[in-house]
Amino acid sequence: MNTTRSLQDLIKPFRDWYKNRHSYAETWKENHSQQVIGMMCTYVPEEILYAAGMLPVRILGGHEPQDVTEAHIFGMFCPFSRDALAQGLKGKYSYVDSIVLSHSCLHFRQTFTSWKMHLPLKWSYYLPMPNQVQSPYAKQEFQSEVKKFKEFIEKEIGKTITAEALKQGTSLMDKNRSLLRKIYELRKKENPPITGADAVYMAVTSQFISKEDHNTALEALLEKANEFTPSRETGVRLMTIGSENDDVQFFEMVESLPATIVCDEQCAGSRYFWNPTIDAGDPIQTIANRYVDRPPCPTKDYPERKRFPHILNLAKEYGVQGVILMQEKFCDPHEADNPALKRFLEENGIPTLTLEFDSTNPLGPLKIRVEAFLETLSAEELFS
Amino acid sequence: MNSYPTEPLKCWGKAKEIRQKYYENYAKAHDQGGLRWSGSAWSFDALAAGLGKDVYPLTGEPYSASIAANPEFNTACQAAADEKGWARDLCSYMRTYWGSMYLNRYLWGGPFPKADFALQIQICCSHSKWYQVVAEHEKIPFFCIDVGVGPYQSLDEARLTYVVNQMQDAIVFLEKTTGRKFDDQLFIEAVENECRSTSLWAEVCALNKAVPAPLDEKTMYSLYVLATLHKASKEVADFYEELRDEVKDRIKRGIAACPHERCRLITDTQPPWSFLKIYRYLEGFGAVSIGSLYTFGLEGIFADQPDGSWGPRPTPSQLGIQIKTREQGLRILADWNLSKPQWQHFYDPDLKTKMILRIVKEWKVDGVILHLNRGCEGLSLGIMENRLGVAKAGIPVMTYEGNMADEREFDMKKTLTRIDTFMETLKLTRLEEKVF
Amino acid sequence: MVVAGMDLGAKAIKVVILSEKGVSAKVKLFPDLDMAQSARKALEEALVQSGTELHELKRIVATGTGRSAAPGKPALVTEPLADAKGIIALLPLTRTVIDVGAEEGRGVKITPQGEVVDFAVNEKCAAGSGAFMESMARSLELKIEDFGEISLKATQAVPMNAQCTVFAESEVVSLIHANTPKSDISRAVHDATASRIAAMTRRVGIEKEVALIGGVAYNPGFVEALKRTLSLETLLIPDHPDFIGALGAALIAYEQAVN
């Protein structure tokens, strides 16, 4: 039996969703007659939205040239924030009824504010997610914010969100998280059956496809997981670290060299789903705690650096030989971490390559640099 | 052609002296067994004041702005930050401060005086990281307070409590770090001073509604800076009282900042500090920048006045509130700072556009110049929406690109050309042709 | 009464001589290193062409980045105002004028009287300028005159992914290596440049009619690309689009001389 082919069949839904995300959401809306909520940043407590029967979809960029945002967001801000706004202004997200931003960085806050100023919406909501998640008061504060958000949604839908519904929303989210963790487990294998590009398709689609559908597709794949033996060469085991960078073409290019991206620490990837909720009694507190405890966006990682040891653990667990630091151009949170992170990784024996990403990227120059990086890694092996 | 009488500010020398002494005090703090700390100009100055009268701050932004006015040193700082791998587009104040620290060079001579501790607040993507890196490099204790609880208009008990709780912990941190006992009375005095300083500065700014303006923005830069240095000190509060009285007197006597004022402008965000001559260039057209949301609202705490206009927020003591406990002082200090005008627009450019338009109306402004400041993510936030909002209201507006503390990103010639075009749209010609 | 308008651009000096009878001369000259001397030469040529003596000139108004080098102590105006005055005289329905020169692109919103309401200029970036297109044409080994024509023969829209000139050049090279037809690459370059210019102009708001001036207006490939990206059916283009700044300067000189 050609297992690789059947694996491709099982990955296909994710690829299709990635490409046809808007028609998926439009169809969902027709079938469910419920609001589709544009979610900005990965700190939005989606549990509340699922409990309310809504579909949260993460607002992402389109990775295509655009000329509609210069009047709204100054060019010193990250291309992602501009690309995502462009998608809105160009009407790609016309099915989105309302938007919610849970605070992480200032750049993307502008996508939210310009969106609410210039696009028709039922409502918009700003959730002040604490910056200082290490503060002993962050959980208490975020609990209060999540509670207010829940009450706001209740007013919107005109009914109470019961504790039972919250628990269902939470377990749906947790199930997705645990399934994605299992997918990532497969990548620890000596010859990972799942490529980094496959993982991007799966992790990113989980941010805008209904978790029910997404879980079903993940389960179908995992059921056959042990049968997979990859027909491709694994090559050098790499990890990507960055933000939203879901540049699948870049991942595919890297993995053709040959190399395999076996793990990531990105908000388009593992940062989004890594930790499940831990029951804290009160269902709102349970949800709030999960976001405070998750692997942080670099902008929230202070006074201590908790991100770095987490990254090092991942690198060790996944047998990573080299790290690609995907620096989104002008992204202050990552720029303020990367030089220190680079030093930290290299002190721990993990070579790094820093590449800068715009919303669209010429693959040629990137390929030359990745090839050179892979060569140095192989050379190190030769001499070690 | 207008020709108003003008004269230098009498208290100018004193402002200079306070600033000079401030930087000296910091450097020499250890000589007399005192303490020094560093943090942002947004940090809670009054908290550190509870440790004693010999505790001296070095606030990062004004320190870096001073370096920016010294191109040779600034270039060296930028190069030192580049060398450590920090991206050029990061906060240029932060990069400059780091550069000075890496070079171990203090702007006023000698080695960079290492702080005993860092006390910081988190407002943007840089502030916490700024002192995280400082703490790591200098190996000093670091405490940070998160004030990101949303705009003041939606402040509630839980949000205020989050900030106050962190301040309580900051006190524990300060005592533990320094081995000193926190003195509530000193702290309460400092809170009162801070409220007095920042309310008085707002009052001074409100006085600039007068035509002709008694102060121009370039002069205001040298005055508001004292609040960015040490707003909780009695000296700064007293200085602003003196300044307020002098400005009132200037208005009474019709003393103008610029003798040929015929067009009133406001700007936005920090200027490119080593190119303040653009303000003189504007004055060549009779155009005077009479302030900005930045010069007014970074340190001035404003509130609606009984007549509906914008002016100083009444201090607790003006409202008859006597601060009796630490808890009460903390709550007042948190609430006061969260009402800062310059903090509101971080959440929504619409709030800033409204404040800009309010200034345009009440301060009788003819045009707005927005500095697209590549050096500051926080204050440039939403600035293109501000541009749209101001233009939509029918107010002439121009933008120029630059960087408050990295002159590599500022093009003087192009900026002056742009100002020329803007002056053309305002139908202003150079005064030299007619006057001189 | 005879007046002169001069536009001292980054790459070319344009001179227009104007009298009550209309334009009597127009001269375009590529300056050498000595801008002042070249400007004098251009003015002299224009005077000869119009049969005017220097002392007959009532007034000179100069615009353009090199305007301070213009001879005869002229009055100076900036490019947006000169553009506005020039275009409104020829195409009075214009409300937005886009001027793409060698070094800079500009979007200017104007009144029916040719006054500047609002303007935007591209910032320190070559990717939205004539110089960028020339450099890309060189990479393709095409003459700049043919570059635009060839792009019209494109059969597909290839996106340019590079956002800056340095990378754009290497991207063009990769496209050539990938055997992408020159016509398609050419269109990609025109689309990318037009997109930059459109983005900048959107800052002031696109109000119809929209006119395109500057040397780039001669390039049919750029005109089509700009129309596409702005979703415009018509883009007004005056005769001699590279002389509009100089014409505007001459009109201002005339107005000032009369008053």
Nearest to A41 by CA among A118, A90, A96, A111: A111
B374–A contact, CB cutoff 8 A: yes
Q: Does C78 touch chain B (CB under 8 A)?
A: yes
Q: Does B372 touch chain A (CB under 8 A)?
A: yes
| DSSP run (H or E) holding C157 | none
The answer to whether residue C161 scores a pLDDT higher than 90 is no
User: In a 10 Å sphere around its CB, with 0-12 CB exposed, 13-18 middle and 19+ buried, how is residue B308 labelled?
Assistant: exposed
Rounded mean pLDDT, C36-40: 94
A371 token code pair: 């090839």
Chain B residues with CB under 8 Å of A347 CB are: none
Q: Which of A32, A35, A34, A56 is nearest to A45 (CA)?
A: A56
Residue A361 touches partner C, C-beta closer than 8 Å: yes
Interchain proximity A67–C202, CB inside 8 Å:
yes
pLDDT mean across residues, chain B: 96
Over the Cα atoms of chain C, what is R_g?
A: 19
Residue A381 pLDDT level (bands cut at 50, 70, 90) = low
**Which B residues, 21 through 60, put their C-beta within 8 Å of a C-beta on chain A?**
none
pLDDT tens-digit readout, B284-341? 999 999 999 999 999 999 999 999 999 999 999 999 999 999 999 999 999 999 999 9
Render pLDDT for B62-86 as a digit per residue (tens, 0 to 9). Answer: 999 999 999 999 999 999 999 999 9
pLDDT at B119: 98
Residues of A with CB under 8 A from a CB of B: 70-74, 76-77, 103, 105-107, 109-110, 113-114, 117, 126, 128, 130-132, 135-138, 140-141, 144-145, 299, 302-303, 305, 327, 330, 332-333, 335-340, 342
Query: Tokens standing for C130?
Result: 């004539």
Whether B327 and chain A come into contact, CB under 8 Å, resolves to: no
Collapsing DSSP to helix, strand or coil, A107 comes out as helix
Residues 64-83 of C with CB under 8 A from A: none
Set of chain C residues whose Cβ sits within 8 Å of the Cβ of A75: 123
| Closest alpha carbon to C133 in C48, C200, C196, C53 | C196
**Angle formed at CA B251 by CA B233 and CA B284, multiple of 5 degrees:** 100
Kindly tell me if the per-residue pLDDT of A382 is higher than 90: no
Answer yes or no: is pLDDT of B343 > 80: yes
Q: What is the pLDDT of residue C103?
A: 80
C123·A363 Cβ contact <8 A = no
Report chain A residues whose CB lies below 8 A from the CB of B144.
132, 302-303
Q: How confident is the model at residue B434 (pLDDT cuts 50, 70, 90)?
A: very low
Is B424 an 8 Å CB contact of chain C?
A: yes
pTM across the whole model: 0.94
The neighbours of chain A, by the rule of 3 or more Cβ pairs under 8 Å, are B, C
Identify which of B115, B94, B229, B129 has the alpha carbon closest to the alpha carbon of residue B174.
B115
Instruction: Kindly list the distances between the CA atom of residue C167 and the CA atoms of A280, A338, A361, C102, in Å, as whole numbers in the listed order.
Output: 52, 23, 9, 20
Interface A-C, measured as beta-carbon pairs within 8 A, has a size of 53
Closest Cβ–Cβ partner in B90, B145, B374 for A336: B90
* Predicted pLDDT at A380: 63
pLDDT tens, position by position, B200-229: 999 999 999 999 999 999 999 999 999 999
Model confidence at A295, pLDDT cuts 50, 70, 90, reads very high
Answer yes or no: is pLDDT of C165 > 80: no
Give the pLDDT of residue A3: 53
Cis previous bond, C74, omega within 30:
no
Position B433 scores a pLDDT of 53
Residues of C whose CB is below 8 A from A68:
199, 202
Test C81 with B421 for CB contact under 8 angstroms.
yes
Q: What pairs with residue C212 in β-bridges?
A: C98
List, in order, residues 6 or more apart from A45 with CB less than 8 Å away. A102, A127, A146, A149, A287, A288, A291
Q: Residue C156, class by beta-carbon neighbours within 10 Å (0-12 exposed, 13-18 middle, 19+ buried)? A: exposed
Summarised one tens digit per residue, pLDDT across range B111-162 is 999 999 999 999 999 999 999 999 999 999 999 999 999 999 999 999 999 9
Q: Average the pLDDT over C152-168 and give the result.
A: 82
Residue from A261, A251, A214 nearest A13 by CA: A214
Please name the residues between 208 and 237 in chain C that touch chain A, using a CB distance below 8 Å: 229
Contacts of A79 in chain C (CB under 8 A): 163
A interface test, pick of C96, C160, C161 with most A CB neighbours within 10 Å: C161
Which residue out of B384, B414, B425 would a mutagenesis test of the C interface target, given it has the greatest number of C Cβ atoms within 10 Å? Answer: B425
pLDDT band at C130 (very low <50, low <70, confident <90, very high): confident
CA distance A77 to chain C (A): 14
Q: Return the pLDDT at C125.
A: 67
pLDDT computed for residue A230 by the predictor: 83
- pLDDT band with cut points at 50, 70 and 90 for residue B435: very low
Q: Does B310 touch chain A (CB under 8 A)?
A: no
CB contacts of C174 in chain A (<8 Å) are 362-364
Chain C partners within 8 Å of A361 (Cβ) = 161-162
Q: Residues of A numbered 44-103 whose beta carbons fall under 8 angstroms of chain C's beta carbons: which are they?
A: 64-71, 75, 79
Domains recognised in chain C with CATH numbers: 1-91+239-259 (3.30.420.40), 92-237 (3.30.420.40)
pLDDT band, residue C45 (cuts 50/70/90): very high
Q: Look at residues B427, B223, B288 and name the one whose alpha carbon lies nearest to residue B6.
A: B288
pLDDT at A1 over 50: no
* Mean pLDDT across B27-43: 97
Chain C residues close to A364, C-beta within 8 Å: 170-171, 173-174
Band of pLDDT at residue C123, cut at 50, 70 and 90: low
CB pairs under 8 A between B and C: 36
Q: What is the mean pLDDT of residues C162-188?
A: 85
Across the interface, whether the CB atoms of C163 and A70 are under 8 A apart is answered no
Is any Cβ of chain A less than 8 angstroms from the Cβ of C159?
yes
Looking at residue B216, its pLDDT comes to 98
pLDDT for C144 equals: 87
pLDDT of residue C210: 97
